[in-house]
Amino acid sequence: MEIKELELEGVKLIKPTVFQDNRGFFTESYQRDAWLDAGITIDFIQDNHSLSCETGVIRGLHFQVGEAAQTKLVRVIAGAIFDVVVDIRKESPTFKKWISVVLKAGDHNQLLVPKGFAHGFCTLQPNTEVLYKVDQLYNRDKERGIYWADPSLNITWPLENPVLSGKDEQLPILEDVLSELHEREGIL
């Protein structure tokens, strides 16, 4: 297993060991003790799985606030995504900075998204399936989102007219999300 620290503190790319043979491959896509030994001391309690049928679907940018904030461990088992992580911690030296990673089926890479970051992705192929583990349960009241094309973030998505959910179409820009959370300093 290899772990690469990416440019935003705490965001890691994890490459598990993969055993190839004449039948295909085998990999331990998650093994609690090995991941703990590698410094990923997170108690994952929920697994999520999404299918996006078309190329050019954007899901995001999403996060949960307060006690419901989630660490996510993201991987792709069919298709490919342009995966984006944005630092939304106001006190962080990298506040509003984002990074992207292409995750695709067959490369087995996983992206660790810490609490305090918004997450979203764009599908690069049809029928893309994303699996991710989270360390807090889904909480509809605590979920928030940022509009994918927020000009203050300047994310260079690989397309201009994505397929979005009705919810994601209506998301506010980061500045408005932060004003809404103003009363709750430190919530991220």
Active site residues: 62, 132
Residue 62 binds to ligand TDO (criterion: CB under 6 A):
yes
Helix (H) or strand (E) holding 59: strand 58-64
- Smaller CB separation from ligand TDO, 17 or 48: 48
- What is the dihedral angle through the alpha carbons of 148, 167, 172, 110, rounded to the nearest 10 degrees? -40
The residue written with tokens 């605590």 in the block is 142
Q: What is the largest CA-CA distance in the chain?
A: 58
Q: Which residues are registered as beta bridge partners of 118?
A: 86
Q: How far is CA 131 from CA 36, 48, 94, 109, 151, in A?
A: 20, 6, 27, 12, 29
Q: Which stretch binds ligand TDO (CB under 6 A): 26-34, 58-66, 156-164, 179-187?
A: 58-66
* Spatial distance between the Cα atoms of 164 and 166, rounded to a whole number of angstroms: 6
Residue 167 binds to ligand TDO (criterion: CB under 6 A):
yes
The residue written with tokens 């067959």 in the block is 106
Contact yes or no for 145/65 (Cβ under 8 A)? no
- Smaller CB separation from ligand TDO, 62 or 75: 62
Residue 50 binds to ligand TDO (criterion: CB under 6 A):
yes
Kindly write out the interface string for residues 106-135 of this chain, putting x where it contacts ligand TDO by CB under 6 A and - elsewhere: -------------xxx--------------
Residue 138 binds to ligand TDO (criterion: CB under 6 A):
yes
Residue 48 binds to ligand TDO (criterion: CB under 6 A):
yes
Minimal distance, residue 166 CB to ligand TDO, in Å? 9
Which residues form the interface with ligand TDO (CB under 6 A)? 48, 50, 59-60, 62, 72, 119-121, 138, 165, 167
